[in-house]
């Protein structure tokens, strides 16, 4: 029982540590620009409580005056670290109090909750984030379809077919993981330039239709946990290899396929390196490139940067939480369903 309680506390503490930056990002995205620049360390979006005194808008303070709590407005600062306070109900009476007293009257500025949802609208309209979002969705989903199609076929071939040098080919495929993308950059760029694909979405979509070692390895390992007797039963019923894949293998491999799809979504959605290299004009940029440019142009407007960042990370977070059960099943290589 004690071990279980300690484990729960450790997990809860880890969750708090992980979610705190996200919560601070969301809170900053909802703040007023005045608070961001004048009160950046406050966690809650807030603004000073004010009162109208003789046509002026003045901040209110909780003040202990002669042992009695009062709400006074700060009229102006006075020499010696003091302030001139006035009672909004009796504007003719003023009080000179120390702003940072050691043993004198206690001062506490009053705040109210001040949430600015308009920051999201402003952040998403000063830059064409709608276009960036559409480009990212096209790259993610079209490329994801190509990745699933190619990787599933390749993984099925490696897991079920038998041929000479098949294991050597599989090792050769896995060896491509050790080749850094920077090594391939110049040759690939030259090829795409010859094809006229530079500054289009094609360099980010078409390569996904030619499989990759990471996803092929994950799907192959899952396919190998499915008993071969199911293939034999399908052949007896007259199914060919493609029908066996469609009606026997894929339903069993649903968790692995969803896990691979989530991996690809996260990679394509957050990819900054390749879009920066291949996309030159703004109308073709993705969310990652657009957000980086937005950060450079509006560095002083932290609230707008945080609002745009929330929009950037929200789809992957929602996808993971909605599909986490199937995702965890897909990465443990569980075989046939009981």
Report the mean per-residue pLDDT for the chain.
Answer: 86
Residues 85, 90, 92: CA angle, nearest 5 degrees: 70
* Distance from C-alpha of 204 to C-alpha of 275, rounded to nearest angstrom: 7
* Distance from C-alpha of 213 to C-alpha of 169, rounded to nearest angstrom: 11
Q: Give 167-179 pLDDT, tens digit per residue.
A: 899 999 989 888 8
Give the pLDDT confidence score for residue 103 in this predicted structure.
53
Give the pLDDT confidence score for residue 190 in this predicted structure.
94
Give the pLDDT confidence score for residue 152 in this predicted structure.
94
Write down the pTM of the prediction. 0.81
Give the pLDDT confidence score for residue 24 in this predicted structure.
87
Give the pLDDT confidence score for residue 40 in this predicted structure.
76
Give the pLDDT confidence score for residue 337 in this predicted structure.
45
Residues of the chain with pLDDT under 70: 101-106, 326-338
Give the pLDDT confidence score for residue 38 in this predicted structure.
81
Rg, the chain, Cα only: 30
Give the pLDDT confidence score for residue 336 in this predicted structure.
44
């Amino acid at each position: 029982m004690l071990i279980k309680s300690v484990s729960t506390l450790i997990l809860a503490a880890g969750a708090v540590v992980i979610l705190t930056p996200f919560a601070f990002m969301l809170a900053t995205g909802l703040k007023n620009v005045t608070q961001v620049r004048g009160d950046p360390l406050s966690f809650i979006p807030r603004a000073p409580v004010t009162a109208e005194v003789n046509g002026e808008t003045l901040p209110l303070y909780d003040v202990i005056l002669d042992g009695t709590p009062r709400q006074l407005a700060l009229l102006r600062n006075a020499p010696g670290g003091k302030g001139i306070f006035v009672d909004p109900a009796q504007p003719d009476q003023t009080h000179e109090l120390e702003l940072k007293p050691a043993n004198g009257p206690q001062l506490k500025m009053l705040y109210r909750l001040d949430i600015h949802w308009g920051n999201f609208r402003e952040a998403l309209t000063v830059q064409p984030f709608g276009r960036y979002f559409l480009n990212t969705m096209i790259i993610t989903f079209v490329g994801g379809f190509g990745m699933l199609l190619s990787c599933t076929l390749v993984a099925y071939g490696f897991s079920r077919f038998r041929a000479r040098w098949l294991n050597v080919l599989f090792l050769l495929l896995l060896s491509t993981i050790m080749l850094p993308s920077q090594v391939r950059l110049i040759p690939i760029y030259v090829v795409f330039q010859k094809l006229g694909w530079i500054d289009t979405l094609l360099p980010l979509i078409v390569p996904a239709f030619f499989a990759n070692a990471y996803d092929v390895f994950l799907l192959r390992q899952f396919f190998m946990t499915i008993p071969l007797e199911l293939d034999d039963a399908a052949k007896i019923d007259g199914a060919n290899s493609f029908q066996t894949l469609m009606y026997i293998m894929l339903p069993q491999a649903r968790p692995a396929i969803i896990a691979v799809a989530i991996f690809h979504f996260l990679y394509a959605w957050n990819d900054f390196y390749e879009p920066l290299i291949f996309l030159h004009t703004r109308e073709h940029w993705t969310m990652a490139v657009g957000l980086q440019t937005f950060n450079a142009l509006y560095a002083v407007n932290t609230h707008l940067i945080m609002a745009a960042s929330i929009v950037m990370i929200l789809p992957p977070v929602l996808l993971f939480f909605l599909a986490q059960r199937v995702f965890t099943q897909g990465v443990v290589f569980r075989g046939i369903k009981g």
